[in-house]
Amino acid sequence: MAETKSAKAVSGGKAAPKKKTSAKKTAAAAPACTPKKILFVGAEVMPFAATGGLGDVMGSLPAALRAKYGEAADVRVVVPLYESVAPEIHASMKTEAVFNVKLAWRQQYCGILSLVKDGVTFYFVDNEYYFKRGKLYGHFDDGERFAYFCKAVMEMLPRIGFFPDVLHANDWQSALSVVYLHTEYRQRMGYENIKSVFTIHNIEYQGQYTFDILQDVFDISPQHTPLMAYDGCINLMKAAIECADRVTTVSPTYAQEIMTPTYSHRLHFVLARQSGKVSGILNGIDTTYYDPASDKDIPVHFTADDPTGKAACKLAFQREYALPEDADAPMIAVISRLAAHKGIDLIVRVLRHVLDTHPKAQFVVLGTGEGEYESYFYQLEKDYPDRVRSFILYNRALSKKIYAAADIFLMPSKSEPCGLSQMIACRYGTIPVVRETGGLYDSIKPYFENEEGMHGNGFTFANYSPDELEERVRAALSLYGDRGRFAELRRRAMVTDFSWDASAAKYMEMYKGM
Ligand code: GLC
C-alpha cells in the first residue's frame, strides 16, 4: 500500500541515484534473451526446512521472480541439507557434485544435491556431520557449520557449471559467502563478475564470535581483521555489509529504522557509512499457498466477494476446540513467537482487562517462546476456560485455521523487519492491530472514514504503550459491533495486494542495475 511512498523515501533518497543511468544502459544494452542469473544463499527454505520468515521468503521470492520473468530469470537457491528434509524429497534429489571443502586445516566432505520446483533449481549442501542434527540452529558450532556452508557454496560454482551474475545472501548464516567472494574468490577465474547482495531479515542476529577463531574456524587471514571486527569481536553481518555491493532489508521503513540506535543493535555506525547502498524492499507472501478460496487446511472456503465461509470457519473452530459456538462472538488471535520484542509483553498487560470488559470476546494464541509468556497463556486458559484457547506449540495447519476463524489479529511488535503474519491475517479477513514499525507500518494502514469513504486495512498505533494497544483493540471490537462497516474493512483487508509481484520487480530492477 503506502509502500511506494516509503520506498521513495529510502531507496529514492539513497540507494538509486548515481547508478541510475548505468543501470538503464545495462538493461537496454543486454539482449532480451540473456537471462539474469541469481543465486540465493541462506540457512532455510520453505517447504524443505524452515523455522520462520526467512524460510518463507527464500521459498517464495525465487519462484515469484521466475513466474514474473520466465526464462529471463535463471534463479537458483542453495541451502544446507538438514535432517528435517522429508525422506521422500531427499530421495528425489539428483547428485550434482561430490568434493572436499577446505576450511582452514579441515577437509570436509561435500555433496551437492538438487531438485527443481516451480522452475527454480534448489541445491542442497550435504554434510551429515554439520547438518544431520535435530534443529537447524542453536548448536555450539554454528559459526563453523555456516562457515563450511559458505565455503561449500563458493566451491560448488565451477563444479555445477553455474557462475551467477548476482550472489544474493540472506542473514548472518550466509554472510561469509559475500565475504569469501570479496576477499578471496573474485580473484579467481569465473568469479570476477559476480556481484553480491546481502539482505538483512533481522538485524538482531549478527553472528558474533571471538577473534581467536578468525583463521582457525572462519579461514580468514588476519590481514582482514579490520573488516571482520566490530565492537571488540568478529561480526559476520557487519563484514557482509562492508563487502556486499548492495545491502537490502525487508521493508523500506526498517531500512530507515536500522540507521538509528533504537533499532540497529549497534550496527547503525556501519550502516550509516554504507547508506548509499542500503535500501528496503517489502516482502510479499505466497498468495497461492495462503488463499482462503482454496486452502485445504481450513474447513470452509471463502473470498473477499463472498466471505460467508469465514463465519463457518469460526463456528467449526469453536466446535473443534470446545468454545461456545457463537458466530457473533469476536475472536481475537495472536500467532507469534512468544517473545517480548513481538509485543507479547504489551498483550499480557491489556488482555485480561479487555476480556473482562468484553464478556463475549474469545481469545486464541498459537506459538512458543519465553517461559514467562507460555505460563501466562496456560494460566489465562485456566482462568477463562470457556473463552481462551492457548496452543503453546507451532503448527502451520492450525495457524491457518486460526487465521480463517478469527476476527482481530494482534501484532504490536517493538520492532518488525517485515512481518508476514499481518499480511496472512488480512488475506484471511482477520483485521490486524499493529504497532507502526518496520514492515507493519508499510503494510497496514489505519482505518478511518471521511467524506470520501473508508480508508485503511487495519488498526495501528505509534508508541510502544499498553494504553495505545488497548485503545486500538477496543476500537476494533467496537467496529466489530457494526456489522456492515466491519465487513467493509474486512473486504479492504482481503483485497490488499500482498503478492510478490511488485517487490519481485523491485529486486529485478536492482539486479539489473548492478
Ligand atoms: C525475519 C523478520 C520478519 C521478516 C522475516 C522475513 O523473521 O523478523 O519480520 O518478515 O524475517 O524477511
> DSSP assignment of 180-238, as one string?
HHHHTGGGSTTTTT-EEEEEES-TT---EE-GGGTTTTT---GGGHHHHEETTEEEHHH
- pTM exceeds cut of 0.85: yes
Q: Over 388-427, what HEC string results? A: EEEECCCCHHHHHHHHHHCCEEEECCCCCCCCCHHHHHHH
Q: Relative to the CA of 420, which ligand 1 atom is closest?
A: 10
Q: Say which residues have a Cβ less than 8 Å from residue 337's Cβ, sequence separation at least 6.
A: 52, 367, 368, 369
Confidence at 158, pLDDT banded by 50, 70, 90: very high
Instruction: Decide if pLDDT at 6 tops 70.
Output: no
**Ligand 1 center from residue 440 Cα (angstroms):** 11
* Residue 229, all three cell numbers: 571486527
Instruction: Decide if pLDDT at 490 tops 80.
Output: yes
Q: Answer yes or no: are the C-beta atoms of 432 and 445 closer than 8 Å.
A: no
**Residue nearest ligand 1's atom 12 by CA:** 201
Q: How far apart are the C-alpha atoms of 64 and 499, rounded to whole Å?
A: 9
CA torsion sign, 294 to 296 to 297 to 302? positive
CA distances from 147 to 113, 161, 175, 179, 510 (A): 19, 22, 9, 10, 27
The CA-CA-CA angle for residues 174, 178, 179, to 5°, reads 105
Query: Is 503 close to ligand 1, i.e. is its CB under 6 Å away?
Result: no
Instruction: Decide if pLDDT at 326 tops 70.
Output: yes
CA distances from 501 to 282, 284, 497 (A): 11, 8, 9
**Ligand 1 center from residue 404 Cα (angstroms):** 22
The percent of residues above 70 in pLDDT, for the chain, comes to 94
CA dihedral 163, 169, 175, 180 (to 10 degrees): 10
Q: Relative to the CA of 254, which ligand 1 atom is closest?
A: 9
Residue 265 buriedness (CB in 10 A; 0-12 / 13-18 / 19+): middle
Query: Is 201 close to ligand 1, i.e. is its CB under 6 Å away?
Result: yes
**Ligand 1 center from residue 501 Cα (angstroms):** 18
What are the respective helix, strand and coil percentages of the chain, to the nearest 5? Answer: 45, 20, 35
**Ligand 1 center from residue 382 Cα (angstroms):** 32
Query: Is 442 close to ligand 1, i.e. is its CB under 6 Å away?
Result: no
* Residue 210, all three cell numbers: 571471538
Confidence at 32, pLDDT banded by 50, 70, 90: low
β-pair partners for 115: 122
Instruction: Decide if pLDDT at 22 tops 90.
Output: no
Query: Is 202 close to ligand 1, i.e. is its CB under 6 Å away?
Result: yes
Closest to 433 (Cα-Cα) out of 463, 412, 454: 412
pLDDT tens, 411-429? Answer: 999 999 999 999 999 999 9
Query: Is 207 close to ligand 1, i.e. is its CB under 6 Å away?
Result: no
Query: DSSP secondary-structure letter at 262?
Result: H
At residue 265, the 3 state secondary structure works out as coil
pLDDT tens, 67-126? Answer: 999 999 999 999 999 999 999 999 999 999 999 999 999 999 999 999 999 999 999 999
Residue 261 buriedness (CB in 10 A; 0-12 / 13-18 / 19+): exposed
Q: Answer yes or no: are the C-beta atoms of 334 and 397 closer than 8 Å.
A: no
Q: Could you tell which of 253, 283, 434 is best to mutate to test the pocket of ligand 1, judged by most ligand atoms within 8 Å of the CB? A: 283
Average of per-residue pLDDT across 152-171: 98
Closest to 19 (Cα-Cα) out of 512, 503, 508: 512
